[in-house]
């Protein structure tokens, strides 16, 4: 069976990503949307939106539902998986925790990571800091690890790590009433992580209450820092640096929406999604179409 190479892969299913996907499908391109959350939970929490032209007095959830329905009517491929790495090339490769995908162009519509990076996080990336338990668990067999999670998905990851690791410290950073039963070697810690330390590899995690000796730290956010997902991506401060056509410094990679900076408004996001996909289609037209395997 031939391996599918999508024309356009869009990372994120908020207003920017859906806007890009809609026009991409209208222009008859194969489009994959990677959306492992529930389509912009930030917008859905808005009690009332009254500044999106043509749709007055709409709830955030109602607006999001209409955007999703409109886009899905044009049948893009929805992939409910988190992209943890993107590798540039003539065809770009996208890695999820359990599969690999390919696309001719990528549009980053990841929103913003509201959580600041921990001290030491960037320094030890690949040397004890990981964003994917499924991918890297085997490196920590019979070792001690910490799992810092901002979503309930972390509960499953911690249990999985408990099958391989000698000891797992689980640090939930989200509100919960009761955690599910976990393995005996998974210890829940109600603390705030502060600093990741070590020499050439991770050796300890410092929290607001104690130091925890570990060999690795898994950090599970709703969105990972985009520069860690795509190495070499140029930033402007904490946001993705883009040109007027929404292209980035990496050929075949475009960006749109909150991840490119303020103002963090719906109209700006949908407009940038449109510009990004039209620019991506123009880029595709300059490239010979690579045969699928």
pLDDT digits (tens, 9 = 90+) for 108-150: 999 876 667 899 998 998 899 998 888 889 999 999 999 999 8
**103 and 32 Cβ atoms separated by less than 8 Å:** yes
Looking at the chain, list the stretches that DSSP marks H as alpha helix, in order from N- to C-terminal side: 15-26, 41-44, 60-72, 133-136, 153-164, 226-229, 266-285
Task: State the Cα–Cα distance between residues 285 and 151, nearest whole angstrom.
Answer: 40
pLDDT digits (tens, 9 = 90+) for 254-288: 999 999 999 989 999 999 999 999 999 999 999 87
pLDDT at 78: 95
Q: What is the mean pLDDT of residues 165-169?
A: 97
Q: Assess whether pLDDT exceeds 60 at residue 293.
A: no
Q: Higher confidence at residue 50 or residue 282?
A: 282
Q: Assess whether pLDDT exceeds 90 at residue 291.
A: no
pLDDT at 1: 31
Q: What is the mean pLDDT of residues 181-207?
A: 95
Q: Higher confidence at residue 114 or residue 70?
A: 70
What domains appear along the chain, each with residue ranges and CATH number? 5-113+224-285 (3.50.50.60), 129-220 (3.50.50.60)
Q: What is the pTM of this model?
A: 0.81
Buried b (16+ CB within 10 A) or exposed e, 38-70: ebbebbbebeebeeeeeeeebebbebbeebbee
Q: Assess whether pLDDT exceeds 80 at residue 45.
A: no
Cis peptide before 263 (omega within 30 of 0): yes
Q: What is the mean pLDDT of residues 190-218?
A: 96
Q: What is the mean pLDDT of residues 70-86?
A: 95
pLDDT at 203: 97
pLDDT at 125: 87
pLDDT at 37: 72
- On average, the pLDDT of the chain sits at 91
pLDDT at 41: 66
């Amino acid at each position: 069976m031939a391996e599918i190479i999508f024309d356009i892969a869009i990372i994120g299913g908020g207003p920017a990503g859906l806007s890009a996907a809609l026009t991409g499908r209208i222009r008859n391109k194969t489009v994959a949307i990677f959306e492992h959350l529930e389509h912009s939970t930030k917008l859905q929490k808005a009690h009332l939106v009254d500044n999106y032209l043509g749709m007055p007095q709409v709830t955030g959830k109602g607006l999001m539902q209409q955007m999703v329905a409109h886009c899905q009517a044009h049948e893009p491929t929805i992939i409910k998986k988190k992209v943890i790495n993107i590798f540039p090339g003539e065809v770009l490769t996208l890695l999820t925790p359990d599969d690999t995908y390919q696309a001719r162009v990528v549009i980053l519509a990841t929103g913003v990571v509201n959580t600041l990076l921990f001290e030491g996080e960037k320094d030890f990336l690949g040397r004890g800091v990981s964003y994917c338990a499924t991918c890297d668990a085997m490196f920590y067999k019979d070792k001690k690890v910490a799992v810092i999670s901002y979503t309930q998905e972390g509960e499953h990851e911690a249990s999985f790590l408990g099958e391989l690791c000698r000891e797992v410290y689980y640090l939930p950073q989200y509100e919960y009433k009761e955690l599910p039963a976990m393995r005996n070697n998974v210890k829940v810690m109600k603390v705030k992580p502060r600093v990741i330390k070590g020499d050439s590899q991770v050796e300890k995690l410092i929290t607001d209450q104690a130091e925890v000796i570990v060999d690795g730290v898994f950090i599970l956010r709703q969105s990972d820092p985009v520069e860690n997902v795509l190495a070499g991506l140029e930033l402007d401060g904490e946001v993705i640096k883009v040109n007027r056509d929404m292209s980035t410094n990496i050929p075949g990679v475009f960006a749109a929406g909150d991840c490119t900076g303020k103002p963090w408004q719906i109209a700006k996001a949908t407009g940038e999604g449109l510009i990004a996909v039209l620019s991506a289609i123009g880029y595709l037209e300059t490239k010979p179409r690579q045969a699928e395997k």
